[in-house]
Amino acid sequence: MTERLDQQMSFLMEADRLKTILRATSITGGSRFENSGEHSWHLALYALVLAEYAESEIRLERVIRMLLLHDIVEIDAGDVPIFGASDGEDIAAKEAAAADRIFGLLPADQASDLRELWEEFERAETADAVFAKSLDRFQPPNQNLGSDGGSWNDYDVSVERIEERVGVKVQRGAPRLWAWIQPKIQAYFDRR
């Protein structure tokens, strides 16, 4: 038991470092940037509250687990802002190496289970992962609307770019959420 618990605690203490990774999106009100730990928690809460808007039947517990884990690799790989310039292949390699290291802290059975869940989220092929990805794209626009444009201003983003990078993903797993927020996004840009 001691070795297993030591490994589990090693993972949990390492996971705490997610709170030090700052994202490009600010918290509502814009007083500071959100950290990745806060983002993961907030997305789990989004899933709990908004599960009824999933396009397909989902298993809520799995979606929440995915959302709690989805950005853990940012401890090593850092945050990749959706509107920032990035090399997808380089990021994927960094994230895979981070997943090897971080999940590798756990006992083998848990390491395998959690890594598989993280990979499922990344592939976005199952209903659970598609909905989780939709929420991951749905939360930041709400934060930006709540902070007078937030990262949209920082990255000089257009409505068309939001629809291309965010809207498509939200529509895939939660079209009613996109139908709700899209007019709010358009109204924000119309006022600018």
Which pLDDT tens digit goes with each residue over 43-90? 999 999 999 999 999 999 999 999 999 999 999 999 988 888 776 778
- Give the end-to-end CA distance of the chain in Å, rounded to a whole number: 59
The pTM (predicted TM-score) of the whole model is 0.95
And the tokens for 23?
């994202």
- Residues 153, 174: Cα–Cα separation, whole Å: 26
pLDDT at 89: 77
Closest to 5 in 3D by CA, of 81, 103, 123, 105: 105
CB of 81 closer than 8 Å to CB of 151: yes
Q: Within 10 Å of residue 84's Cβ, how many Cβ atoms? A: 11
Residues 18 and 78: beta-carbon distance below 8 Å: no
Q: Is residue 164 pLDDT above 80, yes or no?
A: yes
Interval 178-192: pLDDT, tens: 999 999 999 999 998
pLDDT of 18 higher than 70: yes
DSSP 34: E
Q: What is the pLDDT of residue 87?
A: 66
Write the DSSP symbol of residue 106. Answer: S
Q: What is the pLDDT of residue 114?
A: 98
Least confident of 14-18, 54-58, 153-157, 168-172: 153-157
Is pLDDT at 36 greater than 80 in this prediction? yes
Q: Which domains does the chain have, with CATH numbers?
A: 2-191 (1.10.3210.10)
pLDDT in tens, 83-139: 887 767 789 999 999 999 999 999 999 999 999 999 999 999 999 999 999 999 999
Nearest of 135, 122, 124 to residue 176 by alpha carbon: 135
Stretch (H or E) spanning 129? helix 127-145
Note the pLDDT of residue 82: 87
